[in-house]
Chain A
Amino acid sequence: DGGITQSPKYLFRKEGQNVTLSCEQNLNHDAMYWYRQDPGQGLRLIYYSQIVNDFQKGDIAEGYSVSREKKESFPLTVTSAQKNPTAFYLCASSIVAGFQYEQYFGPGTRLTVT
């Protein structure tokens, strides 16, 4: 279970507030990803980064922002522009080399906005 940590496990915020979710990995992986999980919707990609100081939008990037200043860290900010932010957020990482594509997931953060 080691390697990727997300904090906190549960997060509560009032509507209109921005909130930042933490994701740290010590696997020396180049790539990191943020997914949103809603019941019956699978894992939807929000943002991903394959190298420090670079990141790309995923399928549902609106209302979210990220930064990748360090290889180990990929924080996600849920802004007040995100219309339905309550969800389970998963961070993942993978190496970027050859044919190794496995993604390793963190334990997730459950965000509730009221």
Chain B
Amino acid sequence: GENVEQHPSTLSVQEGDSAVIKCTYSDSASNYFPWYKQELGKRPQLIIDIRSNVGEKKDQRIAVTLNKTAKHFSLHITETQPEDSAVYFCAARTGGSNYKLTFGKGTLLTVNP
């Protein structure tokens, strides 16, 4: 089955700096890669996603890049703010008829004011 590795497990940045979280996946048939943000005690919420036919996608201060050849994708957050502090999860969906996602282990991002 699919295996998703996520790095780093913790990341601390100063407010205003950029943050980058990287994920690799094992199944070359995977075609959908979402990123979820989970604040303490809350449910995970989708912040951005990318499909395998696209190399990059941006939404204001966040962007995701995908390298299908290397089987890795990354989340980029620019001009970080304290409210960006949360756990971020990447995931991958393997192609086929099932719609399940395989998640990475998460990155705890701390933005220091």
| Chain A residues near B45 (CB-CB < 8 A) | 105
Stretch at the interface among A11-19, A38-46, A64-72: A38-46
Complex: A48 Cα to B91 Cα, angstroms: 16
| Chain A residues near B105 (CB-CB < 8 A) | 40-42
Interface: B89 (CB within 8 A):
yes
Stretch at the interface among B14-22, B62-70, B74-82, B95-103: B95-103
Which range contains the number of B residues in contact with the other chain? 20 to 34
- Total interface residues on A, CB under 8 Å, equals 25
| Chain B residues near A31 (CB-CB < 8 A) | 99
Pairwise interchain contact B51-A108, C-beta atoms closer than 8 A: no
A105-B44, A105-B45 known; A42 and B99 CB under 8 Å? Answer: no
As a 0/1 sequence over residues 16 to 34 of chain A, the CB contacts with chain B under 8 angstroms (1 = contact) are 0000000000000001010
Interface residues of B (CB under 8 A from A): 1, 6, 9, 32, 34, 42-46, 49, 51, 89, 91, 93, 98-106
Interface residues of A (CB under 8 A from B): 31, 33, 35, 40-45, 48, 50, 56, 58-59, 90, 94, 96, 99, 101-103, 105-108
